[in-house]
Amino acid sequence: MNRRNILWSTVSALGAAFAASRAKAATEDASSHKLKVVYHLSDADKVNFVLGNIQNHIDGVGGPDHVTLALVIHGPALKAFHWAQANPDVSGRISNFAKDGVELAACGNTMKAQNITLTDLLPGFVSAEKGGVVRLAELQSQGYLYLRP
């Protein structure tokens, strides 16, 4: 009987130690895991709404260090980001997003169609050379969650 109690106590202690180490590892994984999200914008009438969503996202997670964000723009919405036409609110938000590390990708196909280059856009943009939809798919394959508000 005594041997059985000793064996049972040893197995129980090992199980508890293993469970505690797994719980600690899970907590560390969760705290070090940064959510990755890509926002898709093509509708000109949703520019302010999407920019507001991105700011709410940054604020909601406690700042830009707690999330990896990308914004992919194509189609008619890209005109709102031409530096010569952009309103001050849009310019300010884009400037802040660029400082916060948000990837700002402009569709290469839309840029060709609108006959513009990166220098025509607000600072901070990169070109999605293969196209906006291709960039969206690439980011999703890298584990980004897709949002199209």
Same domain, 64 and 113: yes
pLDDT band at 33 (very low <50, low <70, confident <90, very high): confident
**Given this model, what pLDDT does residue 68 score?**
97
Of the ranges 24-38, 42-56, 100-114, 115-129, which one carries the lowest mean pLDDT score? 24-38
What angle (nearest 5°) sits at the alpha carbon of residue 47, between those of residues 43 and 48?
145
Same domain, 70 and 53: yes
Same domain, 44 and 24: no
Task: Tell me 63's DSSP state.
Answer: S
Question: pTM of the predicted model, to two decimals?
Answer: 0.78
Same domain, 6 and 39: no
The overall average pLDDT reported for the chain is 87
If you average pLDDT over residues 109-127, what whole number do you get? Answer: 97
Select the more confidently predicted residue: 113 or 26: 113
Select the more confidently predicted residue: 47 or 85: 47
Same domain, 22 and 89: no
Question: E strands, 1-149, where?
Answer: 35-41, 67-73, 103-107, 125-128, 145-147
Q: Which domain holds residue 26?
A: 1-33
Strand partners, 39: 71, 147
Same domain, 26 and 38: no
Residue partners of 10: CB distance under 8 A and separation at least 6: none
Residue 80 and residue 44 in contact, taking contact as beta carbons nearer than 8 Å? yes
Same domain, 39 and 68: yes
Same domain, 25 and 43: no
User: In the sheet that 125-128 helps form, which strands lie side by side, from edge to edge?
Assistant: 125-128, 103-107, 67-73, 35-41, 145-147
pLDDT band at 13 (very low <50, low <70, confident <90, very high): low
Number of domains making up the chain: 2
